[in-house]
C-alpha cells in the first residue's frame, strides 16, 4: 500500500413632525437630544465640514454617509414595544439605567418611529393574535412616547386584523360582507378615526402608510381598480386629518423586474393621491442595492414621486435568544449573506442602505429599520416565554390567531423571529451598533481589524494528505477582505479517521484573528478524468473508428445514460462494422496507485470483444474484459493497482468490437472513473 501525496486542494470561499408635522422626519432636533450622557451626540449643524465626532467606547467602524440632509429620516419600527414591556421586558440606556426606549432611540439618532396598525387583532374572548397586538390605541401610546422623545410618527395601516404582506392581505373581519362602496367608506372612516385618536394622544404624525407590502392586494381586494379605490379612501382621510403628513404607499420585492413600475402605473391610472413610493429592502432577500436604486429612481423619474425604504434589517448575531426560530441565522437557506452576522455587519449593512438612500435614490426621504426593539421576552425557557407570548401578544403570533389566519399563524405561532436583528440584546441593553444612527452622519474611524473569518469549503481526495489552509479570508470591520492566519483543531488521529471514513463531509473548527473559524471538508474520490460522463460532448476524449461504424457520437438521452443526461453512443447496421476505441490521456498524474472503471450496455452485438484498458506511455499494461447483454444491463470494467511513476503518461479507455446481429450492434458507454487507491 502506498500513500499518494496529492498536491491538489480545492478551496472556495462560501459565500455570503408637530402634530401632522412640517416635513418628513421634521422634529426640532432630529439627530440627537442633549441629554448630557455618554452615547449621545450633538446635532449636526448646517455647516458642510463637521469635525469627526466620537462616541466614547464605541469601537465599531462607521463610514460617514456624505450629503445626508439634517432632516433625512432615520426611522425605527418599534411596534411591539408595549407588548414586550407588558411581558416584563425592560430597556436600558448606555449608562446601564432603565430608560424609556423611545428616548434611547432618539438620543442615538433615530428621528421617526413607525408603528403598524391592525383593525382588530383579538379573538371574541379578547385574546390577542400577537405581533404586539398592534391597534390604533397602541399606535397612540407609541406616538405619544415618541413625541415626548422628540420623534415624529409613521402610522402604518395594514387594513387587516393581522399581518399583511405579499403573501396575505386578508380583510378585517368587521368588513366581511360589506358592499364595495361600504368597504371604501369603512377604509376612509377607520383611517380618519384612527388618526384622530393617535393625534389626540399627542403624536406628531409625519407620514401615513396606506397598506403594507400591497403587492397586488389590499384588505382582501385583488383587482387594481379596487385596491386603488380603497387606497384613495385612506389617502383622503389622511389629507383631511393630517394635511401636512406625507401619504405613503408600500410595496415589497424590488428584485422582481418591472413590478414597481407596474404598481405605480396602476396608482396613476386609478388616481391614487400619494407622496411617497416606499419599498421594503431586506438585503438577504431583495436583491442588490443598485437594483433597488434603479427601480426607485424609475418611479421618481416616471411618476414624480418621493421614495423611501420603509423596512430593512440585518442580524447582529446568528444566535436565537428567545427559543423561537429566527428568520435568518447561520445556514438559513435561500438567503444572501452579504455581511457577517455581527454588530459590525449590521452597521455596515445599515450604512450601505442609508448611503444608497441618500446618495443614489432620487427623492428618498428616509430609511426605516424594522423592529430594532423587538427582543426576547425572557432567557429562561420556551415554556416561560410561550406563556408571555400567548398572554401579551409579544411573539410574532399567538395560538389565538388561528381563528383569523389558520394556515400560517394558526400553525406556526411562536416568539420573535427577529430578536437577532435588534439593536438591544436579550436583556434590553443597547448594542454599540445602535450608535451608528448618529455616527453615520460623521463617520467613526477606528483601526482596521478582522470582524469575522469567512467559512471555507474544501474538497480533499480520500487518499491524499489532508492539508488545511494556513490562511483564510476575513471580512474586516470596514467591509474589505484580507487574509488572516488560521489554526485548525485537527489532530493526526482526526485526519486518519477522515481518510478511513470513506466519502463524507466534516466540519473542522479552528481559530483565526482570535475568532472561531470553520471549514467544511468534503472527503471525496477525486476523478482525474475530465468530462467523465460525456456531459460536455466528446471533449477530452479521442475516438478511433477502426471499422467505419454508422454512428459513433455523444447522445443526450437520460434514459439511456448511466448518470446525467448524456453518454457515448454507438450503432452500425452492417456485420463487423463496429470496432473502435474511446480513450482519454492524462498527463502529469502525481506518482501513486490508481484504479480505473468504465461502464457499457448494449445489444444485438453478436460475437464481441470488449475490454477496458490502461496504457502507460502508450503501451497497454492492463485490461479488463467486458460484455454487452441487453438494454439496461450495465457492465463495469474495473482495473485496479495501476502504478504510475512521476512523468508517465496514462491513457485509459475502452475497446469495442462487435460482429453484430439483427438490427446491427448498438451500445452506450458512460461514467469513466480514474481515482487513487489507498
Ligand atoms: Ca427568536
How much is the pLDDT for 42? Answer: 44
The question of whether 311 is a catalytic residue gets the answer: yes
How much is the pLDDT for 322? Answer: 97
Rounded Cα distance between 654 and 648, Å, is 20
Rounded Cα distance between 272 and 319, Å, is 43
CB 523 within 8 A of CB 464: no
For 424, the 3-state DSSP assignment is strand
- Among 428, 402, 403, residue whose Cα is nearest residue 414: 402
Strand arrangement of the beta sheet that strand 551-556 belongs to? 551-556, 566-572, 665-676, 592-603, 635-644
Task: Compute the distance from residue 340 Cα to the ligand 1 centre, in Å.
Answer: 18
Catalytic residue among 171, 221, 311, 583: 311
What counts of helices (H) and strands (E) characterise the chain?
Answer: 12, 25
How much is the pLDDT for 56? Answer: 87
Strand arrangement of the beta sheet that strand 471-476 belongs to? 10-13, 456-461, 515-524, 504-512, 481-488, 471-476, 450-453
For helices 259-269 and 289-303, angle between their N-to-C axes, nearest 10 degrees: 20
Rounded Cα distance between 242 and 245, Å, is 5
The question of whether 213 is a catalytic residue gets the answer: yes
| Cell of residue 133, nine digits | 397586538
- Among 566, 557, 548, residue whose Cα is nearest residue 660: 548
How much is the pLDDT for 331? Answer: 87
Task: Compute the distance from residue 394 Cα to the ligand 1 centre, in Å.
Answer: 12
Torsion of CA 213, 216, 220, 224, to 10 degrees: 130
Give, as one character, the DSSP assignment of residue 455: P
How much is the pLDDT for 464? Answer: 87
How much is the pLDDT for 7? Answer: 31
Digit-coded pLDDT (tens) for 578-616? 999 999 999 999 999 999 999 999 999 999 999 999 999
Task: Compute the distance from residue 48 Cα to the ligand 1 centre, in Å.
Answer: 42
Rounded Cα distance between 430 and 424, Å, is 4
Task: Compute the distance from residue 374 Cα to the ligand 1 centre, in Å.
Answer: 10
- Among 345, 264, 275, residue whose Cα is nearest residue 307: 275
CB 116 within 8 A of CB 79: yes
Task: Compute the distance from residue 515 Cα to the ligand 1 centre, in Å.
Answer: 24
Task: Compute the distance from residue 647 Cα to the ligand 1 centre, in Å.
Answer: 58
Rounded Cα distance between 638 and 660, Å, is 25
Question: Read out DSSP for 490-509?
Answer: --HHHHHHHHHT-SEEEEEE
How much is the pLDDT for 97? Answer: 98
Question: Read out DSSP for 332-359?
Answer: -TT----S-SSHHHHHHHHHHHHHHHHH
Task: Compute the distance from residue 332 Cα to the ligand 1 centre, in Å.
Answer: 13
Give, as one character, the DSSP assignment of residue 72: -
Digit-coded pLDDT (tens) for 160-182? 999 999 999 999 999 999 999 99
CB 428 within 8 A of CB 321: no
For 46-65, give the secondary structure using H, E and C: CCCCCCCCCCCCCCCCECCC
Strand-pair category, 592-603 with 665-676: antiparallel
Instruction: Give the other-Cβ count within 10 Å of 223's Cβ.
Output: 12
Question: Read out DSSP for 262-321?
Answer: HHHHHHHHTT---SEEEEE--TTTS--HHHHHHHHHHHHHHH--EEEEEEE---S-S--S
Catalytic residue among 213, 221, 371, 454: 213
Rounded Cα distance between 244 and 19, Å, is 9
- Among 330, 311, 333, 334, residue whose Cα is nearest residue 320: 330
Q: What are phi and psi of 610, to 5 degrees?
A: -130, 130
Rounded Cα distance between 582 and 118, Å, is 71
Flag residues of the chain having pLDDT under 70. 1-52
Q: How many CA atoms lie within 13 A of 540 on its CB side?
A: 17
Rounded Cα distance between 392 and 85, Å, is 9
- Among 458, 495, 639, 388, residue whose Cα is nearest residue 11: 458
Amino acid at each position: 500500500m502506498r500513500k499518494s501525496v496529492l498536491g491538489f486542494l480545492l478551496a472556495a470561499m462560501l459565500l455570503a413632525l408637530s402634530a401632522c408635522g412640517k416635513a418628513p422626519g421634521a422634529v426640532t432636533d432630529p439627530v440627537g437630544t442633549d441629554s448630557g450622557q455618554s452615547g449621545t451626540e450633538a446635532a449636526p449643524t448646517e455647516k458642510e465640514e463637521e469635525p469627526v465626532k466620537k462616541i466614547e467606547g464605541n469601537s465599531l467602524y462607521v463610514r460617514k454617509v456624505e450629503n445626508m440632509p439634517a432632516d433625512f429620516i432615520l426611522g425605527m419600527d418599534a411596534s411591539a414595544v408595549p407588548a414586550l414591556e407588558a411581558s416584563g421586558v425592560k430597556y436600558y440606556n448606555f449608562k446601564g439605567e432603565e430608560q424609556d426606549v423611545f428616548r434611547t432611540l432618539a438620543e442615538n439618532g433615530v428621528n421617526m418611529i413607525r408603528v403598524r396598525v391592525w383593525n382588530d387583532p383579538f379573538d371574541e374572548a379578547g385574546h390577542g393574535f400577537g405581533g404586539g397586538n398592534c391597534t390604533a390605541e397602541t399606535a397612540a401610546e407609541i406616538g405619544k412616547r415618541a413625541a415626548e422623545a422628540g420623534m415624529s410618527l409613521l402610522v402604518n395601516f395594514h387594513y387587516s386584523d393581522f399581518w399583511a404582506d405579499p403573501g396575505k392581505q386578508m380583510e378585517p373581519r368587521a368588513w366581511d360582507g360589506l358592499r364595495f362602496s361600504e368597504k371604501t367608506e369603512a377604509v376612509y372612516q377607520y383611517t380618519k378615526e384612527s388618526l384622530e385618536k393617535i393625534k389626540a394622544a399627542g403624536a406628531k404624525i409625519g407620514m401615513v402608510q396606506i397598506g403594507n407590502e400591497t403587492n397586488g392586494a389590499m384588505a382582501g381586494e385583488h383587482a387594481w381598480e379596487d385596491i386603488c379605490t380603497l387606497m384613495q379612501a385612506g389617502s383622503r382621510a389622511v389629507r383631511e386629518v393630517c394635511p401636512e403628513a406625507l401619504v405613503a404607499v408600500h410595496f415589497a420585492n424590488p428584485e422582481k423586474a418591472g413590478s414597481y413600475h407596474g404598481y405605480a402605473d396602476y396608482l396613476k391610472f386609478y388616481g391614487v393621491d400619494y407622496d411617497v413610493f416606499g419599498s421594503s429592502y431586506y438585503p438577504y432577500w431583495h436583491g442588490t442595492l443598485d437594483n433597488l436604486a434603479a427601480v426607485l429612481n424609475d418611479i421618481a423619474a416616471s411618476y414624480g414621486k418621493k421614495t423611501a425604504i420603509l423596512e430593512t434589517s440585518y442580524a447582529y448575531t446568528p444566535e436565537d435568544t428567545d427559543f423561537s426560530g429566527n428568520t435568518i441565522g447561520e445556514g438559513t437557506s435561500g438567503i444572501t449573506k452579504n455581511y457577517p452576522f455581527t454588530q459590525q455587519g449590521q452597521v455596515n449593512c445599515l450604512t450601505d442602505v442609508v448611503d444608497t438612500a441618500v446618495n443614489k435614490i432620487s427623492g428618498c426621504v428616509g430609511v426605516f429599520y424594522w423592529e430594532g426593539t423587538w427582543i426576547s421576552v425572557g432567557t429562561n425557557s420556551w415554556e416561560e416565554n410561550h406563556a408571555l407570548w400567548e398572554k401579551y401578544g409579544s411573539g410574532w403570533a399567538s395560538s389565538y390567531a388561528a381563528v383569523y389566519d389558520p394556515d400560517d399563524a394558526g400553525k406556526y405561532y411562536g416568539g420573535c423571529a427577529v430578536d437577532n436583528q435588534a439593536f438591544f440584546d436579550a436583556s434590553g441593553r443597547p448594542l454599540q451598533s445602535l450608535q451608528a444612527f448618529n455616527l453615520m452622519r460623521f463617520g467613526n474611524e477606528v483601526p482596521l481589524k478582522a470582524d469575522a473569518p469567512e467559512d471555507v469549503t474544501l474538497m480533499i481526495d480520500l487518499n491524499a494528505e489532508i492539508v488545511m489552509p494556513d490562511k483564510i479570508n476575513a471580512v474586516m470591520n470596514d467591509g474589505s477582505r484580507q487574509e488572516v492566519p488560521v489554526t485548525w483543531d485537527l489532530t493526526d488521529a482526526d485526519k486518519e479517521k477522515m481518510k478511513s471514513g470513506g466519502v463524507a463531509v466534516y466540519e473542522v473548527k479552528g481559530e483565526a484573528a482570535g475568532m472561531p473559524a470553520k471549514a467544511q471538508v468534503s472527503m471525496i474520490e477525486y476523478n482525474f478524468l475530465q468530462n467523465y460522463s460525456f456531459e460536455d460532448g466528446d471533449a477530452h476524449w479521442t475516438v478511433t473508428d477502426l471499422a467505419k461504424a454508422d454512428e459513433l457520437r455523444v447522445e443526450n438521452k437520460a434514459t439511456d445514460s448511466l448518470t446525467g443526461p448524456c453518454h457515448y453512443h454507438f450503432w452500425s447496421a452492417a456485420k463487423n462494422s463496429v470496432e473502435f476505441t474511446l480513450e482519454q490521456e492524462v498527463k502529469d498524474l502525481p506518482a501513486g496507485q490508481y484504479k480505473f472503471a468504465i461502464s457499457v450496455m448494449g445489444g444485438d452485438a453478436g460475437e464481441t470483444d470488449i475490454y477496458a484498458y490502461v496504457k502507460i506511455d502508450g503501451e497497454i499494461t492492463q485490461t479488463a474484459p467486458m460484455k454487452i447483454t441487453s438494454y439496461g444491463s450495465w457492465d463495469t470494467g474495473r482495473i485496479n493497482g495501476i502504478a504510475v511513476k512521476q512523468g508517465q503518461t496514462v491513457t485509459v479507455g475502452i475497446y469495442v468490437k462487435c460482429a453484430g446481429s439483427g438490427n446491427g450492434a448498438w451500445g452506450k458507454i458512460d461514467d469513466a472513473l480514474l481515482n487513487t487507491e489507498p
